[in-house]
Amino acid sequence: MSGGTKLWGGRFQKPTHELVDQLNASLPFDRRLARHDILGSLAHVTMLARQGIVPLEDARAIARGLRAILQEIQEERFEFRLADEDIHLSVERRLRELIGAAAGRLHTARSRNDQVALDFRLWMREAILEVGEGIVETGRALLDLANEHCDVVLPGYTHLQRAQPLLLAHHLHAYVAMLARDLARLQELYRRVNRSPLGSGALAGVPYPIDRAFVAELLAMDGILENSIDAVSDRDFALEFLADLAILMAHLSRLAEELVLWSSSEFGFIEFDDAFATGSSIMPQKKNPDVAELLRGKSGRVFGHLIGLLTVVKGLPLAYNKDLQEDKEGVFDALDTVALLLRVLPPMLRTLRIDRERMHTAAEQGFTLATDVADALVRAGVPFREAHEAVGRLVAYCIAEGKTFGELAADELARFHPRLAEVVFPRTVWDAVRAREHPGGTGPEHVARALEASRSELERTAGWLQQERQRIDKAFARLLSEEFP
């Protein structure tokens, strides 16, 4: 059975076996890089012409052909043939069909090794912006929810046992703080991704008077990668992207887990809008938090992709090895997964119904003021450990008698510590919350300031994301205009 026709086939007497084509081909997934492959080629051929490496006439024909191919792809008229092996050879094959022999000059001073590394980085740059925009939207939704419910108290938990009263806004702000770090990580990664490997050739560089910086500039990149071997063989940028998404998913998964718990009848703190919940095929009464569960469950595949790629990379000798072709599918899937979730999450958060009474009542139960009672004793001069012990016994007594702190008479209190009857201790959950007015605490004034600060930070990052998008769009529009080469 005959398989592909090798474009560079001089060395071979036979075409590849068709099963080898199937195994070897990355086209089914790397066709996703088509646009960036073409833009990279436009920048490359512009540089080749400017440096006199390729005649201007040929470079112009190549550029015209590449633009036509992009048009075909965008209008879904382009024929992706498995026998082409990958997106790079696919585009080159079509270019030859369109412009003839001059097409053969495009791959001068370039290898697919530096080409694919460039394409992947160009693609990832925009993927980072997309995730960033999704995080910003999610952060805005959380901040709005917090601002709308700044007077709601709920029990905070440790070990999933009621611990101390918290402002709901403070609790939600914790997730905003996590998302802000997720954004910062991606922003930092962006700088490392946005460097051009082109000009590294197969691994050693190329014997032509190339101008690597010019190519990087045409593509709105922040410079070049310094070592040709490193540039074609490392995939740490993809690993970092997956790691950043994995951490993000871990955060979102924790939020999702809380939403699942809170929406149960046992908690009854929130209710999902009907548009963000599903029913049961057998139990008519059910309203299931599937969206939140998928948010939690899909973290598994993102973590898996990180481990998968680490495993692919870890045993490879320098420089390029075909194993590296395995770098793309996991990354694509991770982006698709995260991007969709980040689109669903904001409207789901914005339509949540919060049961403030249930939250408040729960915050009052479970002796959530016990620490504050101990702290009141401390303020009266009792060492904290002694106070802790006394209040512990007091709680055990209340549980046995079925009483709350507020229901205890002075003589009952005095039995547990002589100072207990005299000290003023917080009677309401609001007292406990208001007592914590310091940076990082759940005091309402501090929380309001923290929400504001986070909002400004988020909007600053949103501005940066927009600015980078515009910078890329502008560079790409130039490359696609008739201006070059």
Angle at which helix 87-99 crosses helix 56-74, to 10 degrees, equals: 120
What's the rounded Cα separation, in Å, for the pair 102 and 99? 7
Kindly state the smallest distance separating residue 87's Cβ from ligand ARG, in Å: 7
Measured from the CB atom, the residue of 295 and 331 that comes closer to ligand ARG is 331
* Pick 109 or 465: Cβ nearer ligand ARG: 109
Q: Which is nearer to ligand ARG, 167 or 232 (CB)?
A: 232
Q: Which residues of 34-52 are buried (b: 16+ CB within 10 A; e: fewer)?
A: bbbbbbbbbbbbbbbbbee
| In the complex, minimum distance from the CB of residue 113 to ligand ARG, in angstroms, rounded to a whole number | 5
Q: Between residues 288 and 325, which has the closer beta carbon with respect to ligand ARG?
A: 325
Read out DSSP for 63-77?
Answer: HHHHHHHHHHHHTT-
Structure token pair of residue 144: 């709005």
- Cα separation, 251 vs 270, in Å, equals 20
- Six token digits for residue 153: 């108290």
Q: Least distance (Å) from ligand ARG to the CB of residue 340? A: 25
**CA distances (Å), 199 to each of 195, 211, 253, in order?**
12, 8, 42
Backbone angles phi, psi at 155, to 5 degrees: -75, 135
Q: Which residues bind ligand ARG (CB under 6 A)?
A: 26, 30, 86, 112-113, 116, 320, 322, 324-325
Q: How far apart are CA 291 and CA 138, in angstroms?
A: 15
Query: Is the peptide bond prior to 450 cis by the omega test (within 30 degrees of 0)?
Result: no
Burial class (CB in 10 A: 0-12, 13-18, 19+), 67: middle
To ligand ARG, the closest distance from the beta carbon of 241 in angstroms equals: 16
What is the identity of the amino acid at 341? L
- E-state strands within 110-159: 153-158
C-alpha separations of 292 from 193, 387, 466 in Å: 31, 41, 29
- 44 vs 251 by CB, closer to ligand ARG: 44
Tokens encoding 248: 């993000």
**Burial degree of 191 (CB within 10 A; 0-12, 13-18, 19+):** exposed
When the beta carbons of 7 and 378 are compared against ligand ARG, the nearer one is: 7
Q: How far apart are CA 21 and CA 148, in angstroms?
A: 58
Q: Which residue number, 322 or 353, has a Cβ lying nearer to ligand ARG?
A: 322
Residue 7 has phi, psi (to 5 degrees) of -70, -30
Q: How far is the CB of 325 from ligand ARG (least distance, A)?
A: 4
* Residue whose token pair is 């702290």: 375
| d(C-alpha 235, C-alpha 325), whole Å | 11
> In the complex with ligand ARG, which residue's Cβ is closer, 325 or 466?
325
Closer CB to ligand ARG, residue 116 or residue 465?
A: 116
Closest approach, Cβ 98 to ligand ARG, in A, equals 22
- At its nearest, how many Å lie between ligand ARG and the CB of residue 474? 28
- CA diameter of the chain: 102
φ, ψ for residue 10, nearest 5 deg = -50, -35
Looking at the annotation, which residues are catalytic?
Answer: 159, 280
**CA 243, chain centre distance (Å):** 9
Smallest separation (angstroms) from ligand ARG to the CB of 89 = 8
Shortest separation between residue 230's beta carbon and ligand ARG, angstroms: 16
Separation CA 455–CA 143 (nearest Å) = 7
